[in-house]
Structure 1
Amino acid sequence: MSQLVVQRGLQRGPGQGVRRGPRTRPLIASVTALALAALLTVLLPQPAGAYPPDLPSKAVAQSELDALTVRAESSSAPYDRDLFPHWITIDGCTTRETVLRRDGDGVEVGSDCYPTAGSWYSEFDGETRTAPADVHIDHVVALSEAWDSGASEWTTDRRQDFANDLTGPQLIAVTAEVNISKSDHDPAEWVPPLASKRCAYAKMWIHTKSRWDLSVDPAERTALQPLLDTCSY
């Protein structure tokens, strides 16, 4: 895939008149087959890990970016990762285990919900791992970045919700190497090694900051626009 998200919908070719008669039947059959294949692409479940949830369109992301508050990063107290309770357990699975199941392919789990088999494609660098220990769950907007962008004023419960956000595109399975490289950098300091993933990365970042009402600093805002401009939709 050239981007994290798969474009959904039927593709139509240029409109052409169809001659009636014996020669139209193969054409109609061909068009019907193509339409059916496209419809199945829409209706059938997409491969695990193909895209994060709630990824916005380019137009929506642009509107969100334009509305973000731009200000220098600051916080009322020093950052402490423990202020963001993460990998909480819900229905017997931790958030990390849930993302591993969601983003992996052919994932099997034991009675403790931990994967015993599967493979994970890392969207940021294009690498695949088969051992869950080699897979990290990246907070797209790092917890320390969130802290300096407004989360220092939140309650602990809200920070917990942010750190375990499965609804938006804030958590994604990646290789340990790319997660360590990304660390707590923002888009002015780090972008995915794969250029084809930078559009989706910008969408994920913008949408997360918008959903959680977090600010962006001037350099971050400047860096996001050209990344979003690479998107085709």
Structure 2
Amino acid sequence: MKSYILASLLAAVGTVSAVPMPAPAPPGIPSTANAKTQLAALTVKTITDPGGYSRDLFPHWNTVSGACNTRETVLKRDGTNVVVSSTCAATSGTWFSPYDGATWTAASDVDIDHMVPLKNAWISGANTWTTAKRTQFANDLNTPQLWAVTDNVNQAKSDQSPDSWKPPLTSFYCTYAKSWVAVKYAYALAISSAEKSALTSMLNTC
């Protein structure tokens, strides 16, 4: 009986010291089968930069409710034990970055990444959208477009597509590709042949 209790205690200690569980994922991540179907439906073409891009063309971090804007809403959604001030700024909490597996306890170390970067959207078709649609895209909480991640990892990604940049954790390739495809499918954005090839390879890791 004592040995059983000891084993149970050791198991409990092991659980506490284990790698933190990932935070809840954004909504709308499709199954692998659906992601492959969506990928097949996307328009593949040579992607050229039409020029004229500016982040200001995608109004972002708009007010969601009360004093909370989109960034603050995602920080609360994806963090653990998040405490906010009267102005909705996160004053404490824990954030797990699925791109690289890092855990942070300061909101200043966390960026909100656009899964499909704003400039990539611009050159993939968003240059023809209305400002209202670009605003929706930049603040979309209904698709897997917004992710709380390590700030310098987000900066390393910049506006690159999966054929040029992939998250440091290969174990996240599957979810990353499914999310990228879901966003492009939701907004009928085009992809390049190299982008499709990279996404296909990533989906094959699922």
TM category (shorter chain) comes to 0.7 to 0.9
Offset at 1:58? 0.3
Partner of 2:158: 183
Offset at 1:72? 1.3
Aligned counterpart in structure 2 of residue 88 of structure 1, from 62, 74, 82: 62
Partner of 1:204: 179
Aligned counterpart in structure 1 of residue 194 of structure 2, from 207, 219, 223: 219
* RMSD over equivalenced CA pairs, Å: 1.2
8 Å CA contact 1:70–1:216 kept in 2: the answer is yes
Task: Quickly say closer, same or farther: Cα 1:180–1:144, change in 2 above 3 A.
Answer: same
Aligned counterpart in structure 2 of residue 101 of structure 1, from 76, 80, 88: 76
Q: Deviations over 1:32-71 (max 9, x none)?
A: xxxxxxxxxxxxxxx8822221110001000000000001
Which residue identity lines up with residue 161 of structure 1 in the other structure?
Q
Aligned counterpart in structure 2 of residue 63 of structure 1, from 37, 60, 68: 37
Offset at 1:185? 0.6
Query: In structure 1, how many angstroms separate the alpha carbons of the residues matched to 2:170 and 2:36?
Result: 19
Select the structure of larger CA radius of gyration: 1
TM-score by length of 2: 0.87
Q: Deviations over 1:201-225 (max 9, x none)?
A: 0001000000011000111011110
Total equivalences in the alignment: 185
Partner of 1:10: none
Partner secondary structure for residue 120 of structure 1:
strand
Q: Does residue 115 of structure 1 match 2:94?
A: no
4+ residue runs over 2 A deviation: 47-50, 74-77
Partner of 2:11: none
* Identity among equivalent pairs (%): 51
TM-score by length of 1: 0.77
Aligned counterpart in structure 1 of residue 25 of structure 2, from 51, 70, 85: 51
Partner of 1:167: 142
8 Å CA contact 2:46–2:192 kept in 1: the answer is yes
Query: In structure 1, how many angstroms separate the alpha carbons of the residues matched to 2:132 and 2:158?
Result: 24
Partner secondary structure for residue 53 of structure 1:
coil
Partner secondary structure for residue 199 of structure 1:
helix
Q: Does residue 74 of structure 1 match 2:75?
A: no
Query: In structure 1, how many angstroms separate the alpha carbons of the residues matched to 2:182 and 2:131?
Result: 22
Offset at 1:76? 4.2
Q: Does residue 138 of structure 1 match 2:103?
A: no
